[in-house]
Amino acid sequence: MTDEQGRTGALFERAGSILVTLFGLLVLTFVIGRVMPVDPVRAIVGEDATKEVYQNVYHQLGLDRPMWEQFFFYIRDVLTGNFGTSVRTGQPVIQDILHVMPATIELATFAIIVGAGLGIPLGVLAAIKKDRWQDQVIRVFSLLGHSMPIFWTGMIGLLIFYAGLGWVGGSGRMSQFYIGIVPERTNFLLIDSALAGDWDVFRSAIDHIILPASLLGYSSAAYITRMTRSFMLDQINQEYVTTARVKGLSQRQTIWFHVFINIRVQLVTIIALAYGGLLEGAVLIETVFAWPGFGQYLTSNLRIGDMNAVMTCVLLVGLIFIGLNILSDVLYRVFDPRTR
């Protein structure tokens, strides 16, 4: 088999794996929508609807059809971009998600910058200073980040840094005074305010995103620190590190230009998965900070049993993780020529 045939076979194998994963995600989403103890018809017609009205809506939703037929129509709707209408907002679900998702992307992006910016250097330092006081302090830092509930740190952060010290903005994406001033072009508030040249709104948005993003970033940094330390310790014990030191390279050169380069591929996956976790796991922090994002949208619709919105949100979370895994594979090939 030639190299070209091998690459083609690997490409088809990867594509087949992605298709199987997508199909499994569709099955899982469909099953979740059917087994949840929520009556989608009652969520639409209300508790006081007559039996005739209930049966009419039940028929319109196709719930009287066989399960395999319902699944077929579900796949058809997904492939055509028809995710139904939200009971809560009365608008197409996809339109609602496109409106709220930028807020969560902004929050998660700031958080992963904080998390990687703290986690990677702290993990490297902990590995270099293994079992010394610096390592012990960093490990306690990581343990606290994993142990403290994010909703608790959110409330404490608001009490100290907003109500007490006044260093940051409060709940929401910006001050109430600025709502509606900047035209919504992209729904990314920082981008829209910069495009409009309204720097007061931009500063207000920065003030409001700093605290929730930092708290989410701390939680993410705890995980990235632990993994970076583990990867570094595994490489530091390799023979090539001893060889580099014998050749006269300084510790700094050995760590950053040899050891760290060899863990880049692993860190790519860790950071990508951490970012995906921030996108779908910001539910609690968005609730505490009244952040009008994807997490709060999912929570609000789950409370009232809006299954069109809930199923679409679950499907989107799965697609995000599949996309991040594909991106990780691409970056693997960029950073490590051996995988090409």
pLDDT in tens, 101-120: 888 889 989 999 999 999 99
Least confident of 42-51, 245-254, 299-308, 315-324: 42-51
pLDDT at 33 over 60: yes
279: Cβ contacts below 8 Å, ≥ 6 apart: 104, 105, 108, 294, 317, 320
Supply 93's token pair: 């679900």
Instruction: Evaluate if residue 212 carries a pLDDT over 60.
Output: yes
Residues 269 and 330: their CA atoms lie apart, in Å, by 11
For residue 50, pLDDT over 80 is answered with no
- Written as six digits, the tokens of 21 are 């994963």
Range with the poorest average pLDDT among 13-27, 84-98, 175-189: 13-27
Q: Quick one: pLDDT band at residue 131, thresholds 50, 70, 90? A: confident
Residue 274 pLDDT > 60, yes or no?
A: yes
- Name the most confidently modeled range: 54-68, 183-197, 217-231, 286-300: 217-231
Highest mean pLDDT among 11-20, 64-73, 89-98, 301-310: 89-98
Domains and CATH numbers, the chain: 3-79 (no CATH), 93-339 (1.10.3720.10)
pLDDT at 113: 92
CA-based torsion, 200, 201, 203, 208: positive or negative: positive
pLDDT of residue 9: 58
- What is the mean predicted confidence (pLDDT) over 209-237? 88
Which secondary structure element, helix H or strand E, spans residue 316, and what is its range? helix 307-335
**Count, residues in the chain:** 340
For the residues 213-236, what does the mean pLDDT come to? 88
Mean pLDDT over all residues of the chain?
79
pLDDT (tens digit, 9 = 90+) per residue, 148-174?
A: 878 788 888 888 888 888 888 877 888
CA distance 315 to 317: 5
CA distance 11 to 17: 10
pLDDT tens readout for residues 277-286: 787 667 778 8
pLDDT over 60 (residue 5): no
More confident residue, 264 or 340: 264
pLDDT greater than 60 at residue 339: no
How far apart are alpha carbons 83 and 202 in whole angstroms? 34
The pLDDT of residue 69: 75
Q: Is the pLDDT of residue 91 over 60?
A: yes
Residue with more model confidence, 208 or 170: 208
- Predicted confidence (pLDDT) at residue 340 exceeds the cutoff of 60: no
User: Which DSSP symbol is given to 92?
Assistant: B
Distance CA 260, CA 281 (A): 29
226 has a pLDDT exceeding 80? yes
